[in-house]
Each structure stands twice: as structure tokens, then as C-alpha cells.
Amino acid sequence: MAAAAGLSAVLALTGTATAEAAPVPAGGFAAQAEALGLTAAEAHTLQDRADAYLAEVGGTQVAANRIRLGAGAVLTLALPTTAGARQGVSPGAAAYTCGYGHFCAYSDPYRSGDVIDMYACASYKIPWFGDGSWENNQTRGTRAQFRDNQFIVRWTDRGAYDNDDVADWSWVHYVTNC
């Protein structure tokens, strides 16, 4: 029974985000981190990253590595490399699948690292600087707008399906996914 609960926690934290996850009390995050096999240091580092995101983009932490950004997006933090390796995810591999109908912004190139999965039409703050990536897997033809710090549209993608494996986030401060 405990193994099944641990496996459920692993699947919930490493797969595609669910649309609406219920907030988990802070003590529950430690249990989730333990179920994932994170060391105390890895769990602490993961929580520090979550806290930094919460300060920058807001939202509600709903899992050890997941922050709900309002009613339309979820930010999923990549697990520490050693924890990912213990879960069978090779370092640098994309461990997150951008579902159909979603736009996903990744902190690292080649759809890896932390990810903001946008599933409701809105504008979302992009907290990264430097090279990352994105995938527009929304309904056919839906175009995403990339906005600067003054909220001016500086570029629009070609429409779903579209992606960029090495995208420069340094000038992008917001993405309007539809």
C-alpha cells in the first residue's frame, strides 16, 4: 500500500500536469519529496526554487515541484538530476510532455528543465533569461504572442503546431498563448 502511494506521488510529479491540482499542506511536500527519493538537501533545493518562482510569478504551490498559476497554467519544476536519474530519467532528457491543446514554455533548450504548461487563454509571465525552448501544441492554427517588458507583442509564432528547441528568453517577459 505504501509503495502504491509512493508510485502515485512519483507519477503525479514527473508526468504531464493535471489541469487543477488541490493545494497540499507544506508537510505534505516533504512526504512527496521523500516518496520521490530526494535527499534532504535535494528537497531543500527544490523548495528554494519553488519559493523563488512563487515570489516572481505568484501562484499556489500544489506539490513538491508544482505551482498552479491561477486557473490557466501550471509551472512544473524539474527534479534534481540525481533524483531524476533514480526515477529512470536521463540527465538533460525532456521529462515533460506538452499535452494537446497546451502551450509549454521550458527553461532550458530542447524542451527540458522547468516548464510552464499553459492551457487557458491568457498572458503568462516568463521568469527565465537566456536560452530555453517552447512548444505550441494547441489546436491547429492557434498562434502565441511573445511580449517584451512593456507588454508589446514583438513576435508571433506560425500557429500550432510549432516549436523552437533553442529560444532566447532574454527579451521575452510574457507569452500570450492564444
Q: What is the mean pLDDT of each run of 10 residues along the chain (178 residues)?
A: 34 38 59 87 93 96 95 93 48 71 97 96 96 97 97 97 97 97
C-alpha 44/C-alpha 151 separation (Å) is 34
Q: Where are the domains of the chain?
A: 2-176
The reported pLDDT for the residue numbered 11 is: 32
The reported pLDDT for the residue numbered 21 is: 44
- Give me 114's grid cell: 522547468
The reported pLDDT for the residue numbered 46 is: 94
Going across the sheet that includes 145-147, the strands are 123-125, 174-176, 145-147, 153-156
* DSSP 8-state code for residue 139: S
Q: Return phi, psi of residue 140, to 5°.
A: -45, 130
The reported pLDDT for the residue numbered 34 is: 85
C-alpha 4/C-alpha 113 separation (Å) is 27
Tell me how far apart the terminal alpha carbons of the chain are, to the nearest angstrom.
43
C-alpha 97/C-alpha 22 separation (Å) is 21
- Give me 161's grid cell: 503546431
| DSSP-based three-state secondary structure for 98 | coil
The reported pLDDT for the residue numbered 151 is: 97
**CA neighbours within 13 Å on the CB side: how many for 166?**
0
